[in-house]
A and B are shown apart, each in its own frame.
Chain A
Amino acid sequence: MKNLGRSMVSGLIGIGIGMIWFGVEVLFSLNGRNIASATVYVSSLIFWIFASFVIGIFFYVASFVFDKDDWSLRKQIIVNFFVCLIAWLIFAFALNDFVFSWLLLTEVIGKFLLMYAIAYGAYLLHLFHEVREINNKLKEK
């Protein structure tokens, strides 16, 4: 039950990040035109909300690797990175009817690297901050 709740939260975070991403893509697609002229199809929006939710849940499931205490953080991140990358590639190519192109592959990997760097960069910064905070408190004792 606890896991279900957490996976739902992760799915909702996925929607949040996905919608920011969606918004940025819409802005880029404008090519300098007025924002009022932007067109967003409801079907496309619903699809991306659902897809973001599923991606969020997938990231939660993939994060189980971080519970393996006997693995170093480096090993956990490497395994998590490749599991997520493979899933992301399958998802991206499925959207394009599995038509392969080097351009698409580069674009998909580039986007993934950017998302991963933002997510785990933020996590590592938070971790360093927590350790510093604890050390300061321990010094006070």
Chain B
Amino acid sequence: MEIKFNIDENFEKEKVEFWIRRMTDKVKRAARDLQVEQNFIWGYQENEAYRVEYRQIYSIQVENEKTYICTKDSNYQFKGRLYQVKTNLPSDFIEASRSAIINYHFIDHLEIIRNGNIDAVMKNGLRVQIARRKIKNLKERLGL
């Protein structure tokens, strides 16, 4: 694909145009990444709010009806539902199951555990169950 940049700091409004034969997931992801204006979400620890940047997030998961943001070595509570955060996330994130989203750059490996479920073992040792029907999305994201 040919990519052309017109860089001029005097532009009043920045815009991106795609000239494509058909819409693909790759283009949709690129468009979504370009539209993400905020690069962080607010996470809470003992009633104190912290800016958690997307690039730091390993996973966002629901446990006991609460949504938690997990980074390399901290956990924060997100005061909202998983679907609310899902729409704003960049394409580094994939849905692991109905109750978890993971940043695929931080996956160390997958492991089939004894009961037949599949765990994504993250680089910090965190285990997140990944639904078998989501494996296809992960493969696609990894370019397989």
Interface on A for B, CB 8 Å cutoff?
Answer: 66-67, 69, 72-77, 127-128, 130-131, 133-135, 137-139, 141
Contact of A73 among B105, B117, B144 (CB under 8 A): B117
Task: Please tell me if B97 contacts chain A, counting CB pairs below 8 Å.
Answer: yes
Name B's interface SS.
Answer: mixed
Among A66, A73, A128, A134, the one with the most B-chain Cβ atoms within 10 Å of its Cβ is A134
Among B111, B112, B115, B116, the one with the most A-chain Cβ atoms within 10 Å of its Cβ is B116
In the complex, A95 Cα to B107 Cα: how many Å?
A: 52
The A-contacting residues of B in range 88-144, CB under 8 angstroms, are 97-99, 105, 107-112, 115-118, 129, 131-133, 135, 138-139, 142-144
19 additional A-B pairs beyond A74-B115, A134-B138, A135-B109, beta carbons within 8 Å, are A67-B133, A69-B98, A69-B99, A69-B129, A72-B115, A74-B116, A75-B115, A76-B116, A127-B132, A130-B135, A130-B139, A131-B135, A133-B139, A133-B144, A134-B135, A134-B139, A134-B144, A135-B110, A138-B110
Contact of A138 among B97, B108, B112, B117 (CB under 8 A): B108
A131 in contact with B142 (CB, 8 Å): no
* Chain A residues within 8 Å of B116, by CB: 72-74, 76-77
Name A's interface SS.
Answer: helix
Which chain A residue shows the least CB distance to B135?
A130
Residues A131 and B131 in contact in the complex (CB < 8 Å), given A69-B97, A69-B98, A138-B109: no
B142 in contact with A137 (CB, 8 Å): yes
B115 in contact with A73 (CB, 8 Å): yes
* Chain A residues within 8 Å of B131, by CB: 69
Shortest CB-to-CB span from A69 to chain B, Å, is 5
In the complex, A71 Cα to B132 Cα: how many Å?
A: 12
A-B CB contact pairs (8 Å), 12 listed: A69-B99, A69-B129, A72-B115, A73-B115, A73-B117, A75-B115, A77-B116, A128-B112, A133-B139, A134-B110, A138-B110, A138-B142
In the complex, A128 Cα to B113 Cα: how many Å?
A: 11
Shortest CB-to-CB span from B115 to chain A, Å, is 4
Contact of A72 among B98, B117, B133, B138 (CB under 8 A): B117
Give me the 7 closest cross-chain CB pairs, A-B, nearest first: A73-B116, A72-B115, A69-B97, A137-B142, A135-B109, A69-B131, A131-B110
In the complex, A134 Cα to B107 Cα: how many Å?
A: 10
* Chain A residues within 8 Å of B129, by CB: 69
Which chain A residue shows the least CB distance to B133?
A67
In the complex, A4 Cα to B143 Cα: how many Å?
A: 29
